[in-house]
Amino acid sequence: MTQRLHLVFGGELIDPTKNAFKDVENIHIVGMFPDYASAYNAWKANAQRTVDDAHTRYFIAHIHRLRDEEVAASPTEELGL
């Protein structure tokens, strides 16, 4: 069975209408989660905690989509990383 890892992270944005962080060094890494449901719960808890701050946003990154096991080389491998 394929793992479907998800990363939850967030922080203060430069502009609440865009997705650029004000200070990349202070991004809050909530954690890595084994499924979308647990990632969603972590995202929701942090988003609700910061609901009064319009410049703070949390995101869920679908880490499992970065590597497709069916393809010989993922885009990251093509960069030589």
What is the per-residue pLDDT across 25-78, written as a single tens digit (0 to 9) for each?
Answer: 999 999 999 999 999 999 999 999 999 999 999 999 999 888 666 655 555 555
Q: How many residues does the chain have?
A: 81
DSSP string, 5-49: -EEEEEEEBSSTTS--BS-GGG-EEEEEESSHHHHHHHHHHHHHH
Q: The pTM is what? A: 0.77
What pLDDT score does 55 carry? 95
Going along the chain from its start, the domains and CATH numbers come out as 6-78 (3.30.70.2400)
Given a cut of 80, whether residue 81 has pLDDT beyond it is: no
Predicted pLDDT of residue 79: 53
